[in-house]
Amino acid sequence: MSAFSTQALAQSKAVTGRVTDAITGEGMPGVTVHLKETSTAAPTDEQGNYSINVPAGGGTLVFTFIGYLNKEVTVGSQPTINVSLASDSKTLNEVVVVAYGTADPATYTGSVTQIGAEKLAQRPVTNITNAIAGQAPGVQVSAGSGQPGSGPDIRIRGFSSVNYANDPLYVVDGVPYTAGLSNLNTEDIASISVLKDAASTALYGSRATNGVVMITTKKGKKDRVQVNLRALQGVSSRAIPEYERVNAYEYYPLMWEAYRNSLVSATVTRAQASQRATADIKGLLGYNPFNVPNNQIVLQDGTLNPDAQLLWEDDLDWEKALTRDGSRSDYTVSFNGGSEKSDYYVSLGYLNEKGYLIKSDFERFSGRMNVNTNLTNWFKAGVNINYTLTNSNQANTGSSTGFVNPFFFSRGIGPIYLFTSTTPPRALMYWTRMANGCTIWEAPPPL
């Protein structure tokens, strides 16, 4: 044990020193001194002093502290290393966009949340309201319908009206925006500021009663020319699997049993009810998809006729006829740059999102041009143009218990009724409806 300890001490050495502020020269307590590429670390004390063991061959020490730039120092043979940390100027230069311009987040007393372009880039969304979800404390975001191109409802200051809208005021580059938010390409957004308190009404008055969402688009950067290309490709499917359903071979015996049980009474025995259910079950369900006579589909013991075979090969799963694996393609190319007095930003985007339901999709062509120039010391001119062309198909899912809702209909229709999107079904239906653009016929053609 003593030999091991002596060997360990011979292979390492202690390095001490002091960490100070580069401006004031005072010691900095709580600075983390970390030996790079290892788990060895030590904090500084109240005077900024530290002590850490490093390998005898040396290493690299990393000094980190919130609000200061990290610093790396190679140990070598130095027994003492004193460092000074400089403040992170980027943190001091951050600003938030408010109704009347910009403000320093350290001195701004209002309630505001800002979402930068870095966070937006991490969330490939079609509607920018989806980017606000989970990013702004105190903002209520209700679940959207799931339609391609749609977004959730935003409630910044709760529900202020029963009969009128509770949506916040959306402002794009200082101008109130009333068009669809899905028209905006997320790649063109520089930042989103959510103003939640009464200060948000300073410029927009009563229109800002429900809060303000300030959207700032990107501009060109001076003294540089950049070309950016972003391509996203994805797929979508159900997060939770659909309920398991019975097939055509299980459906008839179950319906037979339910019908038989309804017939049993004080005057009708169980055997009589079973005999009548076997004879009448086809008339009750309206269609016989099997190759056996109508009165022999289900035997009187409640089991399916062993000779019964479907008249077609495919099982009758209505969900498969109405759903698919969705896909999303999003491509944006942008050009930006500028000189001492001018800047420009030009982008072209294409989005094609196919939903989980057939005939639910969203396609968008977008273009934006933002040009600004300082003509004189006191006169600045610019142009900010956005063009959007959208094509959208929306599935009828507004009524959760209506037969026009594909989810409700596919869960309620029996698996014995044939359905295709190109040919009339061979089934007698009780409803003449439209299910996601596919006609369900009331009367069947002959088999």
Per-residue pLDDT reduced to its tens digit, 338-384: 887 889 999 999 999 998 888 889 999 999 999 999 888 888 899 99
Predicted local confidence at residue 141, as pLDDT: 79
Residue 17 burial (C-beta neighbours within 10 Å; 0-12, 13-18, 19+): buried
pLDDT for 193 beyond 90: no
pLDDT in tens, 13-65: 889 999 998 888 889 998 999 998 888 889 999 899 999 989 887 789 999 98
The CA-based angle 187-373-174, given to 5 degrees, is 55
| Closest C-alpha to 40, from 29, 27, 51 | 51
Other C-beta atoms lying within 10 Å of the C-beta of residue 302: 14
pLDDT tens track for 100-123: 566 655 445 456 777 888 888 888
Query: 243: which 2 tokens?
Result: 């309920």
250 token code pair: 């299980």
Q: Each residue of 247-279: pLDDT tens digit? A: 888 999 999 999 999 999 999 999 999 999 999
Q: Find tokens 């944006």 and name the residue.
A: 332
Q: Which two tokens stand for residue 294?
A: 């109508």
Beta strand 169-172 with 212-217 is parallel
Give the CA radius of gyration of the chain. Answer: 34
First to last CA, the chain: 91
pLDDT at residue 431 tops 60: no
Closest CA to 282 of 265, 262, 301, 304: 304
Strand order in the sheet with 361-374: 224-236, 326-338, 342-354, 361-374, 380-393
- The pTM (predicted TM-score) of the whole model is 0.64
Distance CA 432, CA 410 (A): 14
Please give the torsion angle defined by the CA atoms of residues 96, 102, 103 and 109, in that order, rounded to the nearest 10 degrees: -80
Say what the pLDDT of residue 333 is: 95
Q: Identify the structural domains of the chain with CATH numbers, from first to last.
A: 2-90 (2.60.40.1120), 92-217 (2.170.130.10), 248-316 (no CATH), 396-447 (no CATH)
